[in-house]
Amino acid sequence: MKNWFESDDIIHVSLEKVILSFKDLGKHYSKLVSLMPGLTSVELIDEGKDFITIKTNEGLMKRVNIVVSSNEESFNIEFDEDYQAGKMINVQSHYVHCFKSVEEGVLHSVRINQMKASGFMGFFYKTFGKASIGKAVLKSYRKFFSE
């Protein structure tokens, strides 16, 4: 399956801290999403064992089918996202985050695939949003773990 976005970043944090932050998915994702550019309000609407729903100033974000796996050297989390940003665009994608312990801290790798975005605005999102969205995700995690 072709990735829409794939990149990685070093975060100066322990793997243990990363794992602990995911113990409360609702708290983790509402704080993380609030660090994304352009989002001025973020509210956790609903959460369960393998899903969260967040309302932002742009629309409604649903992350479902959340699956976590880990071993002594790495922590992985993946999910499907459905993001309704206003009336103009609905984006569906699959995220895979891998956190691997390295000498400098943690290597955070992100893959976004199965990207679907409908309509005219969806075309522009898929075509021109890849680098900015992907880099914003990486930057948000770096900022999240530096606080």
Read off the pLDDT of residues 97-119 as tens digits, 9 standing for 90 and up: 999 999 999 999 999 999 999 88
* Domain boundaries, position 142: 3-146
The H or E element spanning position 126 is helix 119-128
**Residue 121, phi then psi, degrees to nearest 5:** -70, -35
pLDDT for residue 40 is more than 80: yes
pLDDT confidence of residue 51: 97
d(CA 132, CA 1): 21
Q: For residue 119, what are its two tokens?
A: 């309509």
Q: What is the DSSP letter of 128?
A: H
Structural domains of the chain, count: 1
pLDDT confidence of residue 29: 96
pLDDT confidence of residue 49: 93
Question: The CATH number of the domain where 133 resides is what?
Answer: 3.30.530.20
pLDDT confidence of residue 1: 66
The H or E element spanning position 117 is strand 105-117
Q: What is the DSSP letter of 118?
A: -
- Determine the 3-state secondary structure of 63 from DSSP: strand
- For residue range 2-11, list pLDDT tens digits in order: 899 999 999 9
The structure's pTM equals: 0.92
